């Protein structure tokens, strides 16, 4: 557990003063380069969980057998499947978060999404949701269809402006990206990574959050330019599926899937 927290995402990023409070699980922090570097070549150690990066090589004193044993020990063996769910339609006229509740349509969308996730037949290990009202409410409705799934809120997943998009349609001051970007990057480092080496079985997890956050997480997971997040759009209540293989490779299996909803229930 100590090693898990120490490594957690090159962990959660270092926030600016007055940063959002988050759970103990998110509290292992390290410096973050911002914006994240982009390269055309796949970085196999993108989550800093390659076995060699978990070993203090100076302690081995050139012992090759010990190195071989530790490389085997710290190798991930399980696959993680993460379902990123956008919240349902909500009252955009609300002035405070407590007023930005789901609309009747938004509640229907969340219900349909819960049914869809249940019908997939997976045994979900947990569900993490943004602490904004619309995501929390969506998570509660989905949870009615998934008995026994632990639900946990995270401020890291709250909506925001992750990084200045390219191309950009609307100008925003740099302070918004400066404030929100490291937090959303921290959400990526905390929740999107290969399985811990101690995990033996494949896991299925649900994250309920927001359009901007999901789009950014997808770009980062696929090692695409993070500035490309605005080039895609997601329907309310839609499901995006990421598969993180034991060797750190990532597969996008669904992006904004909402085909299980009648056309009359779709919105974005």
Dihedral class, residue 182 (left if φ above 0, else alpha if ψ from -120 to 50, else beta): alpha
pLDDT value of position 13:
39
CATH code: domain 1-268 is: 3.40.50.1240
Tokens of 26: 């998110």
What's this model's pTM, rounded to 2 decimal places?
A: 0.86
Coil, helix or strand at residue 227: helix
Find all residues with CB under 8 Å of 99, minimum gap 6, and list them. Answer: 91, 93
pLDDT value of position 66:
83
pLDDT value of position 60:
77
pLDDT value of position 35:
67
Query: What are the extents of the domains in the chain?
Result: 1-268
Find all residues with CB under 8 Å of 115, minimum gap 6, and list them. Answer: 145, 260
For CA atoms 119, 151, 208, 39, the dihedral sign is negative
Q: 126-130 and 80-86: which strand pairing?
A: unpaired
pLDDT value of position 33:
57
pLDDT value of position 67:
84
pLDDT value of position 34:
63
Tokens of 212: 């901007």
pLDDT tens digit at each of 268 positions of the chain = 333 333 343 444 333 333 433 343 343 333 445 667 777 899 999 999 999 989 888 887 777 788 888 899 999 999 999 999 999 999 999 999 999 999 999 999 999 999 999 999 999 999 999 999 999 999 999 999 999 999 999 999 999 999 999 998 888 999 999 999 999 999 999 999 999 999 999 999 999 999 999 999 999 999 999 999 999 999 999 999 999 999 999 999 999 999 999 999 999 9
Q: Where do runs of H (alpha helix) occur along the chain?
A: 2-7, 64-73, 104-119, 133-143, 174-191, 211-221
């Amino acid at each position: 557990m100590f090693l898990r927290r120490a490594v957690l995402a090159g962990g959660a990023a270092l926030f600016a003063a007055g940063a959002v409070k988050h759970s103990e699980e998110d509290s292992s922090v390290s410096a973050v380069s911002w914006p994240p570097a982009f390269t055309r070549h796949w970085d196999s150690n993108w989550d800093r969980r390659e076995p060699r990066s978990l070993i203090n090589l100076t302690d081995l004193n050139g012992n090759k057998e010990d190195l071989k044993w530790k490389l085997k020990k710290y190798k991930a063996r399980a696959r993680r499947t993460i379902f990123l769910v956008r919240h349902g339609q909500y009252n955009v006229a609300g002035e405070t978060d407590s007023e930005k509740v789901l609309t009747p349509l938004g509640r229907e969308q969340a219900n349909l999404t819960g049914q869809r996730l249940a019908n997939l037949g997976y045994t979900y290990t947990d569900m993490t949701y943004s602490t904004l009202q619309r995501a929390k409410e969506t998570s509660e409705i989905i949870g009615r269809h998934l008995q026994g799934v632990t639900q946990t809120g995270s401020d890291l997943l709250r909506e925001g402006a992750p990084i200045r998009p390219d191309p950009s349609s609307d100008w925003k001051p740099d302070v918004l990206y400066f404030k929100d970007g490291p937090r959303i990057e921290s959400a990526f480092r905390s929740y999107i990574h290969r399985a811990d080496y101690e995990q033996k079985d494949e896991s299925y997890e649900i994250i309920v959050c927001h359009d901007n956050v999901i789009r950014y997480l997808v770009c980062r997971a696929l090692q695409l330019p993070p500035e490309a997040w605005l080039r895609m759009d997601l329907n309310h209540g839609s499901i995006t599926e990421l598969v993180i293989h034991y060797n750190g490779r990532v597969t996008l299996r669904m992006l904004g899937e909402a085909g299980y909803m009648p056309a009359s229930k779709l919105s974005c």
